[in-house]
Amino acid sequence: MFNKEIETLELTELRELQSRRLVNLVNTVYEKVPFYKKAFDEKGIKVSDIKSINDIHKLPFTKKTDLRDNYPFGFLTVPESELARIHCSSGTTGKPTVVAYTENDLELFSEVVARSLAAAGAKPGMKLHNAYGYGLFTGGIGVHYGGEKLGLSVIPVSGGMTERQINLLRDFKSEVICCTPSYAQTIGAELKKRGISLSELNLKYAVLGAEPWTEGIRQQVEESLGVVATNIFGLSEVIGPGVSQEAYDEKGTGSYIWEDHFFPEVVDRYTGEPLPYGEEGVLVFTTLTKEAMPFVRYWTNDICSIDYDQQGSRTHIKMSAIKGRADDMLIIRGVNLFHTQVEELIHDFVELVPNYQLVVTKQGIMDKVEVKVELSQNYGKSQNVNGVLTSEMVNENEKLSFLSKRLGKKIKDNIGISMNVTLMAHNQIPKSEGGKLSRIVDLRE
Ligand code: DLL
If one residue of 99, 180, 235, 339 were mutated to test the ligand 1 pocket, choosing by the most ligand atoms within 8 A of its CB, it would be: 235
Which residue has the CA at smallest separation from atom 22 of ligand 1?
Answer: 210
If one residue of 211, 214, 304 were mutated to test the ligand 1 pocket, choosing by the most ligand atoms within 8 A of its CB, it would be: 211
- What is the CA(363)–ligand 1 centre distance, in A? 34
CA atoms within 13 A on the CB side of 430: 13
Best CA proximity match to 132, nearest among 176, 170, 171, 96 = 176
- What is the CA(120)–ligand 1 centre distance, in A? 17
- What is the CA(319)–ligand 1 centre distance, in A? 14
- What is the CA(292)–ligand 1 centre distance, in A? 21
If one residue of 231, 302, 328 were mutated to test the ligand 1 pocket, choosing by the most ligand atoms within 8 A of its CB, it would be: 302
Q: How far apart are CA 32 and CA 68, in angstroms?
A: 18
Return the bridge partners of 97, or none. Answer: 89
pLDDT exceeds cutoff 80 at 394: no
pLDDT exceeds cutoff 60 at 386: no
pLDDT tier at 396 (50, 70, 90 boundaries)?
low
- What is the CA(233)–ligand 1 centre distance, in A? 6
pLDDT of residue 426: 84
- DSSP code string of 184-209: HHHHHHHHHHTT--GGG----EEEEE
- DSSP code string of 43-67: HT--GGG--SGGGGGGSPPB-HHHH
- What is the CA(180)–ligand 1 centre distance, in A? 9
pLDDT of residue 249: 98
Q: How far apart are CA 286 and CA 57, in angstroms?
A: 11
**Which domains does the chain possess?**
1-328 (3.40.50.12780), 330-442 (3.30.300.30)
- DSSP code string of 417-434: ---EEEEE-TT-S---SS
pLDDT tier at 378 (50, 70, 90 boundaries)?
confident
Cβ neighbours of 113 (radius 10 Å): 32
pLDDT of residue 91: 62
pLDDT of residue 397: 72
pLDDT exceeds cutoff 70 at 240: yes
Length of the chain: 445
More confident site: 380 or 83: 83
Which residue has the CA at smallest separation from atom 4 of ligand 1?
Answer: 139
Percent composition of the chain: helix, strand, coil (DSSP 3-state, to 5): 35, 25, 40
pLDDT exceeds cutoff 50 at 385: no
Ligand 1 atom with least separation from CA of 143:
6
If one residue of 233, 245, 303, 432 were mutated to test the ligand 1 pocket, choosing by the most ligand atoms within 8 A of its CB, it would be: 233
Ranking 181-190, 323-332, 386-395, 405-414 by mean pLDDT, the lowest is 386-395
pLDDT tier at 383 (50, 70, 90 boundaries)?
very low
Ligand 1 atom with least separation from CA of 97:
11
Could you tell me which residues come within 8 angstroms of residue 327 by beta carbon, excluding any fewer than 6 positions away?
301
Q: How far apart are CA 377 and CA 151, in angstroms?
A: 39
Could you tell me which residues come within 8 angstroms of residue 351 by beta carbon, excluding any fewer than 6 positions away?
375, 376, 379, 403
First vs last C-alpha separation in the chain = 50
Q: How far apart are CA 207 and CA 245, in angstroms?
A: 9
pLDDT tier at 74 (50, 70, 90 boundaries)?
very high
- What is the CA(241)–ligand 1 centre distance, in A? 7
Vertex 154 angle, CA 150 and 157, to 5°: 145
Query: What does pTM read for this prediction?
Result: 0.94
Going edge to edge, which strands form the sheet with 324-325? 262-267, 281-287, 298-304, 324-325
Q: How far apart are CA 353 and CA 186, in angstroms?
A: 12
For the four alpha carbons of 421, 422, 427 and 433, in that order, the dihedral sign comes to negative
- What is the CA(209)–ligand 1 centre distance, in A? 6
Which amino acid appears at position 364 of this protein?
G
Q: How far apart are CA 70 and CA 38, in angstroms?
A: 13
Q: How far apart are CA 255 and CA 248, in angstroms?
A: 10
Ligand 1 atom with least separation from CA of 234:
5
pLDDT exceeds cutoff 80 at 395: no
Q: How confident is the model over 356-383, as a mean pLDDT?
A: 85
- What is the CA(234)–ligand 1 centre distance, in A? 5
Interval 27-50: pLDDT, tens: 999 999 999 999 999 999 999 999
- What is the CA(398)–ligand 1 centre distance, in A? 41
pLDDT tier at 90 (50, 70, 90 boundaries)?
low
More confident site: 384 or 199: 199
CA 405 to chain centre: 31
Which residues surround ligand 1 with Cβ inside 6 Å? Answer: 89-90, 132, 137-139, 209-212, 231-236, 240-241, 300, 302, 322, 325
Q: How confident is the model over 345-372, as a mean pLDDT?
A: 93
pLDDT exceeds cutoff 60 at 382: no
For the four alpha carbons of 251, 209, 113 and 69, in that order, the dihedral sign comes to negative
Dihedral, CA atoms, 432, 305, 285, 133, nearest 10 degrees?
-10
**Which ranges constitute the DSSP H helices of 54-180?**
64-69, 103-119, 138-150, 162-172
Return the bridge partners of 100, or none. Answer: 86
Best CA proximity match to 142, nearest among 239, 230, 73 = 239
Mean pLDDT score of the chain: 94
pLDDT of residue 363: 87
- What is the CA(235)–ligand 1 centre distance, in A? 5
pLDDT of residue 96: 86
Which residue has the CA at smallest separation from atom 13 of ligand 1?
Answer: 235
Cis peptide before 72 (omega within 30 of 0): yes
Most confident of 83-97, 341-355, 389-403: 341-355
Which residue has the CA at smallest separation from atom 30 of ligand 1?
Answer: 212
pLDDT of residue 365: 85
Ligand 1 atom with least separation from CA of 255:
26
Q: How far apart are CA 405 and CA 418, in angstroms?
A: 11
pLDDT of residue 387: 58
Which amino acid appears at position 100 of this protein?
A
